[in-house]
Amino acid sequence: MSGPRGPRPRRVLSRGNVFVYGTLMLVSVYYLLPLWVMVMTSLKGLPEIRMGNIFAPPVEVTFQPWVKAWAEACTGINCDGLSRGFWNSVRILIPSLVLSIAVASVNGYALSSWRFRGSETFFVILIVGAFIPYQVLLYPVVILLRSLGLYGSIWGLVLVHTIFGMPILTLLFRNYFASLPEDLFKAARVDGAGFWGIYLKIILPVSLPIFAVAAIIQVTGIWNDFFFGVVFARPETYPMTVQLNNIVNSVQGVKEYNVNMAATLLTGLLPLAVYFASGKLFMRGITAGAVKV
């Protein structure tokens, strides 16, 4: 038998491939270069940094800037580094995460499976909430928190994060639950499960991916939040991002570039870790707004 036979051979070094991979590599370098500079700078001593040449790897590797950023850097009168902000952020993140996901998932479940009179209107109002600029609500929320006695406390921030995360999370959960087969819900009703029974024993276990997506959105969002932190917290309850800003932007003394770089990297470590640990789900979180309504 002569002539073509079997699968068509693919050329690895075709013109298209060279172009695509070339472009990808170029773009990767463009985006990775700042990270490279940051890591290298954070490992150098100040004299070496002053020599210029920001791309060069350190001649003498030192971890002192990391130690200083974590435990010794001063913000205001406190000189215990970023560690305080880190633990504040953790204390804000965990309750906000659990609370917002718990409430939003039940919201989404009620809105998709137990349609009540006016449920669509309720949903629309909730979604409109996502489009109100935070700045407009700033002052009312300050007053609200003050009268609740939560202003400046970690629980105040937890409340703010939970409420402001509600529209997008509810949308996310509602859409996902609406895509589950309706018969599943009906079968569970015939089997005698009620509102909570169906939610806990049927809906929740089959929807774990969307819970993971919601968790990723919330972890990165809350951890990276600076705005709410700077407005609603006090120096002793500042989250890590606010503290980072205070370290980096302090105008007294020498600019310690290595410490600043280390501090920034430390703050970005958690979202980075989340991203690497959950690549695909992370992408779904980013595109969540594009899910059909």
List of residues contacting other proteins (CB under 8 A):
181, 183-184, 186-193, 197, 201-202, 205-206
Which of 82, 188 has the CB closer to other proteins?
188
Which of 189, 284 has the CB closer to other proteins?
189
Q: What is d(CA 283, CA 183) in angstroms, rounded to the nearest whole number?
A: 29
Which of 152, 197 has the CB closer to other proteins?
197
Smallest gap from Cβ 182 to other proteins, in A, equals 9
Smallest gap from Cβ 199 to other proteins, in A, equals 13
Which of 201, 255 has the CB closer to other proteins?
201
Picking from 168, 143, 166, the residue whose alpha carbon sits closest to that of residue 231 is 143
Smallest gap from Cβ 292 to other proteins, in A, equals 20
Smallest gap from Cβ 109 to other proteins, in A, equals 16
Which of 144, 206 has the CB closer to other proteins?
206
Smallest gap from Cβ 194 to other proteins, in A, equals 8
Smallest gap from Cβ 189 to other proteins, in A, equals 5
Which of 36, 196 has the CB closer to other proteins?
196
